[in-house]
């Protein structure tokens, strides 16, 4: 029997997590050749999510509860869950029921075909408008910054083999980004189509600011292309400025009565100054993250663990 670890980061999910757990148990019982464990990571949720997790752990010894001491974000919570997952295969999914646990068999079947990682693909996402915009931006970022194949769809609902889990667990920097870690671990990745459900209870824990922060994590932690783009833009601005200076001198020689243009000068200064500040800010972001990583800032801090089994 192959052990499958279901890793679920939990935030404001007191009303939904029991239904997700029940669906997982029912689904795995209907599959042949698999047994399960469920790793529930409470990301310092302000409601009584961990109380619900405690109750579930008492009811089912196959459920491991991890309580974080501070809110660390979805990807850090997933990292905590993966490090405590014992399964030969791990499946990461959401706590709100929108990722259909009853279709986990599709991901497992694709893994059995020989793939290392399988992402669920949604034909129609039931998210708010700003979340869909964030998904599009994230898609462009992972494609151009991280080298993701255009045809590959990435999502938070995914399955991975044991060696991929172990490779991800080696990453200890303060800004984890799961998709980037998966893409750099293997290229043997596939998609399977699943339904994306409408949220029945509560609101998403992702604000636009959190989505923006996740986007920054992706391209600053796993790619130097933004710095190269900054170099190209800086070089282009320098060439344009030099060409404009030559043009101004030539025009003055041809027609000495042409007045010097204050407006065009200010426009050029504002443009170049803005670009310089943008590039300095980007470099500062990289340096700041390097400084935090060098100080060994933790991805997460665990307060307590329930039902953890020894090797």
What's the confidence (pLDDT) of residue 182? 92
What's the confidence (pLDDT) of residue 127? 52
302: left (phi over 0), alpha (psi -120 to 50) or beta: beta
d(CA 129, CA 209): 15
d(CA 169, CA 65): 18
Identify whether the C-beta of residue 160 lies closer than 8 Å to the C-beta of residue 85: no
d(CA 177, CA 185): 13
Identify whether the C-beta of residue 41 lies closer than 8 Å to the C-beta of residue 68: yes
- Neighbour order of strands in the sheet with 89-92: 189-194, 117-122, 158-161, 89-92, 2-10, 34-42, 63-68, 302-306
Count CB atoms within 10 A of the CB of residue 265.
12
pTM of the entire structure?
A: 0.78
SS3 168: helix
On the 0-12 / 13-18 / 19+ scale of CB atoms within 10 A, 10 is buried
d(CA 189, CA 111): 9
d(CA 41, CA 74): 9
Q: Pull the structure tokens for residue 90.
A: 């791990």
Q: Collect the ranges in the chain with pLDDT lower than 50.
A: none
d(CA 147, CA 183): 8
Centroid of chain to Cα 245: 45
Q: What does the pLDDT look like over 182-229, one tens digit per residue?
A: 988 999 999 999 988 776 665 555 555 666 666 666 666 666 667 777
What does the DSSP assignment read for 202-239? S--S--HHHHHHHHHHHHHHH--HHHHHHHHHHHHHHH
């Amino acid at each position: 029997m192959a052990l499958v670890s279901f890793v679920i980061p939990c935030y404001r999910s007191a009303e939904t997590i029991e239904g997700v757990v029940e669906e997982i148990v029912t689904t795995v019982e209907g599959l042949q050749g698999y047994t399960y464990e469920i790793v529930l990571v409470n990301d310092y949720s302000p409601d009584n999510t961990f109380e619900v997790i405690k109750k579930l752990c008492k009811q089912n010894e196959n459920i491991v509860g991890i309580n974080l001491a501070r809110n660390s974000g979805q990807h850090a919570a997933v990292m905590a869950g993966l490090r405590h997952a014992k399964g030969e295969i791990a499946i990461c999914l959401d706590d709100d029921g929108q990722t259909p646990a009853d279709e986990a068999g599709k991901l497992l079947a694709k893994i059995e075909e020989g793939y290392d990682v399988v992402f669920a693909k949604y034909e129609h996402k039931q998210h708010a408008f700003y979340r869909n915009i964030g998904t599009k931006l994230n898609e462009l970022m992972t494609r151009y910054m991280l080298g993701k194949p255009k045809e590959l769809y990435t999502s938070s609902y995914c399955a991975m083999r044991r060696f991929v889990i172990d490779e991800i667990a080696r990453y200890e920097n303060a800004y984890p980004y799961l998709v980037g870690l998966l893409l750099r671990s293997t290229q043997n990745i596939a998609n399977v189509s699943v339904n994306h459900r409408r949220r029945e209870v509560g609101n998403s824990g992702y604000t636009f600011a959190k989505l923006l922060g996740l986007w920054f994590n992706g391209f600053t932690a796993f790619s130097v292309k933004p710095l190269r783009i900054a170099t190209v833009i800086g070089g282009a601005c320098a060439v344009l400025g030099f060409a404009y200076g030559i043009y101004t001198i030539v025009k003055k020689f041809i027609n000495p009565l042409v007045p010097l243009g204050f407006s065009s000068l200010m426009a050029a200064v504002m443009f170049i100054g803005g670009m310089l500040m943008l590039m300095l800010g980007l470099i500062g972001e990289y340096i700041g993250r390097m400084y935090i990583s060098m100080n060994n800032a933790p991805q997460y801090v665990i307060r307590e663990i329930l039902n953890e089994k020894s090797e």
